Amino acid sequence: MSPRLLLFATVLVGCVPPDDDACPAGQQACDDTCVPAGLTCCGYGNGEVCPGDMACGTSSADPCVPFGGATVVEIQGTDQPCPDFVPNPVSVRTGEPLSFTNLTTVMRTVVGREGPPPWPISSATPWASMQPGESSGSIAFDSAGTYSFATTTHLGSCDTRWGQLFVTVN
């Protein structure tokens, strides 16, 4: 009888809604589970997190990479008006370079601002513009904070797909 109770308890623990309010004190939502607060949720769907000295990598196969060097966000999705960002979210430290690579078939402008989405694209600051196959120049942030960004072929057309950027103190 004890093994069945243990299995039942394990199933209940795994059924946590993906909402910070549903997580116990000191934890935050990441994908469909709760993880310790202060870690960066990489958003690959399996609850991968990175400690404070690591940034999210480009896939769930390599979820965490050391800070330092240039961080590149790929803009993916050939025919989507609102493409995907990989990795998303992304983490950098103040002063570290961040750049974007446009892997789509149309020109893209990355726009962003401090704070969580949603917000109208027209209220954001353009960060970079790239033709298909091009990479942007490096962008660096002087202040720690949480930023959100989107990409569009023209401002105002892509209010539904968001990237998230965590900038921590170097």
**Interval 13-31: pLDDT, tens:** 333 344 567 788 888 777 7
Domain hosting residue 155, numbered range: 68-170
Query: For residue range 67-97, what is the model confidence (pLDDT) as tens digits?
Result: 666 688 998 886 667 788 888 888 888 888 8
Clarify whether residues 12 and 83 are in a common domain.
no
Clarify whether residues 74 and 115 are in a common domain.
yes
Helix, strand, or coil (residue 18): coil
Clarify whether residues 106 and 160 are in a common domain.
yes
DSSP 107: -
Clarify whether residues 168 and 85 are in a common domain.
yes
- Rounded CA-CA distance 55/65 in Å is 5
In a domain, 61, yes or no: no
Helix, strand, or coil (residue 146): strand
Could you tell me where the beta strands, DSSP code E, fall in 123-162? Answer: 125-130, 145-152
- Provide the domain count of the chain: 2
Clarify whether residues 73 and 111 are in a common domain.
yes
What is the total residue count of the chain? 170
Band (134; pLDDT cuts 50, 70, 90): very high
Is pLDDT above 70 for 45?
no
In a domain, 60, yes or no: no
pLDDT reported for residue 4: 37
Clarify whether residues 89 and 29 are in a common domain.
no
